[in-house]
């Protein structure tokens, strides 16, 4: 910015510029917004994708809670036979992680289909749609981390099951 200001001052002193110095240096994101590289409908699609992710994560918590609590009699028997709360917690957390890994593989297939669909459009940004290795790794990491995080509450609730109550009901 200082270089541009000095250049403008030198050119004005030499008589090339008549107006006072008015230089502006935008960062990359501001410049891309200024030249309207990303259309507004793509921004809306990104926000809708994050909203969809949030709804999916809430549904995952509910489904995992129902699944783990349905197996409470099994948990009670395992606890009565000597399994620690920690081992039950880890088992259900690993189960949630495997679900996330399977979701990541399925999501990869859907993403490849989506990229192919976008590239078939005649829009000016269609050729920009691509998946790179960093994005693929981030996708798998997000799927596994999100499923493990959403599995924390159900796994915690599962390991809190009292074995005496479960054994009395059987």
Are the C-beta atoms of 131 and 111 separated by less than 8 Å? yes
Spatial separation of the C-alpha atoms in residues 97 and 160, rounded to whole Å? 20
Q: What share of the chain is helix, strand, coil (3-state, %, to 5)?
A: 75, 0, 25
Helix (H, G, I), strand (E, B) or coil at 23: coil
Helix (H, G, I), strand (E, B) or coil at 46: helix
pLDDT digits (tens, 9 = 90+) for 38-51: 777 888 898 999 99
Confidence of residue 90 (pLDDT cuts 50, 70, 90): very high
**Percent of the chain whose predicted confidence (pLDDT) is above 70:** 96
pLDDT digits (tens, 9 = 90+) for 49-75: 999 989 988 998 899 889 888 888 888
Confidence of residue 86 (pLDDT cuts 50, 70, 90): very high
pLDDT at res. 120: 85
pLDDT at res. 159: 84
Spatial separation of the C-alpha atoms in residues 38 and 40, rounded to whole Å? 7
pTM, two decimal places: 0.64
Q: Vertex 163, ends 160 and 78: CA angle to 5°?
A: 90
């Amino acid at each position: 910015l200082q270089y541009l200001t000095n250049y403008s001052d030198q050119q004005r002193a030499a008589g090339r510029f008549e107006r006072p110095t008015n230089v502006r240096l935008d960062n990359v994101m501001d410049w891309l917004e200024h030249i309207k590289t990303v259309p507004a409908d793509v921004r809306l699609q990104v926000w809708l994708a994050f909203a969809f992710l949030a709804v999916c994560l809430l549904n995952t918590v509910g489904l995992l809670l129902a699944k783990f609590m349905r197996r409470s009699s099994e948990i009670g028997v395992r606890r009565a036979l000597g399994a620690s709360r920690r081992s039950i917690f880890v088992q259900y957390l690993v189960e949630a992680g495997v679900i996330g890994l399977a979701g990541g593989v399925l999501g990869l297939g859907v993403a490849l289909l989506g990229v192919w669909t976008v590239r078939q459009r005649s829009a000016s940004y269609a050729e920009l749609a691509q998946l790179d290795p960093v994005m693929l790794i981030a996708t798998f990491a997000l799927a596994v981390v999100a499923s493990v995080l959403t599995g924390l509450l159900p796994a915690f609730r599962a390991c809190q099951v009292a074995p005496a109550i479960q054994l009395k009901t059987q």
